[in-house]
Structure 1
């Protein structure tokens, strides 16, 4: 398999669209799922996935492989896009498809889960972007504290402290609703 580093060099030096296509294909599904878990809407997630790749390819010269893997860098861009979109939108709407009907009990449970997740996301959006970023990279990106600390150029202990303080606040805020 051709390395990300090689593909990135080809894109920067030769403007290779084939190398860009390969990078997009390599990370598209993971990035889409990362964004979908946070947004919960297929169309918006698809649009944002495209926006993240456009931003990444436009700013490829700023990518530093010593600081983070390309995937981690993409997730960081995605995190900022989600934070920005949450600032612009208060509510996200999803159309119901007639083919998606489940049993009534399952629907109620799924709606409660989705509503709770959206409530938690709105709550997290009230914190500073740096704290949101740690939370989103950990929860939705599945990154380790070490990976997050390297990406953010912060001490791992600080990243852990930010994350666990926020989790404690979330638990306290939503203790009676779960």
Structure 2
């Protein structure tokens, strides 16, 4: 944590690009993974991850280490970026085109299996996106970013009881939307 704060001070004080590159190295894979689990496209994921770090760089002067950890700050920006992306009309139009590109006459079973898998994941992502924003954010942070409930509480600036409530309600809503059975795993434990 001291290393991160030292890098941030160098970035803010001296506009040190090398310090920012070091900061990116510390968190890049984590944010890339968070984004990839939601978009499932390497090129798009690279672009989005880059955009998130640009937003971080441009707004880093507003970061307050007394309010939250840098990781919390970073996930807040990433989560908000993903929410905005899913809301955009361009994203919705692009999703329609993705499935039109596949040639369904192909006899290649692996392509068909991959398409079905992508379609199922897209269906899940669409269901998550259709949830109320707070529910959606909690679900994303818990399952895509694999944050603990305490981390989600910090990132979304809400108490732990509310995080558990929104997680439980979000899962119930997803089950109804996807018409699946109960989850065996108790995911409401930290």
Instruction: Flag whether TM exceeds 0.5 (same fold).
Output: yes
> Of residues 162, 173, 176 in structure 2, which corresponds to 1:172?
176
CA RMSD of aligned residues (A): 2.4
Structure 1 pair 115/57, CA: closer, same or farther in 2 (3 Å)? same
- Residue 118 of structure 1 corresponds to which residue in structure 2? 122
> Of residues 156, 163, 168 in structure 1, which corresponds to 2:167?
163
How far residue 67 of structure 1 moved from its aligned partner, in angstroms, is: 3.4
Gaps of 5+ in 1: 97-102
1:50 aligns with 2:45: no
What's the TM-score once normalised by structure 2's chain length?
A: 0.80
Count of aligned pairs: 171
- Residue 184 of structure 2 corresponds to which residue in structure 1? none
Alignment of 1:55-66 (within 5 A): 55-66=55-66
Gaps of 5+ in 2: 102-106, 182-190
Given that 2:138 and 2:152 are in contact with CA atoms closer than 8 Å, whether structure 1 keeps it comes out as yes
State the Cα deviation string for residues 83-127 of structure 1 (Å, max 9, x = none).
11111121433898xxxxxx9554444332321111121122123
What's the TM-score once normalised by structure 1's chain length?
A: 0.85
- Residue 68 of structure 1 corresponds to which residue in structure 2? 68
**Whole-Å separation in 2 of the counterparts to 1:63 and 1:24:** 15
- Residue 87 of structure 1 corresponds to which residue in structure 2? 87
- Residue 187 of structure 2 corresponds to which residue in structure 1? none
Given that 1:67 and 1:151 are in contact with CA atoms closer than 8 Å, whether structure 2 keeps it comes out as no
**Whole-Å separation in 2 of the counterparts to 1:20 and 1:71:** 14
How far residue 76 of structure 1 moved from its aligned partner, in angstroms, is: 1.9
- Residue 133 of structure 1 corresponds to which residue in structure 2? 137
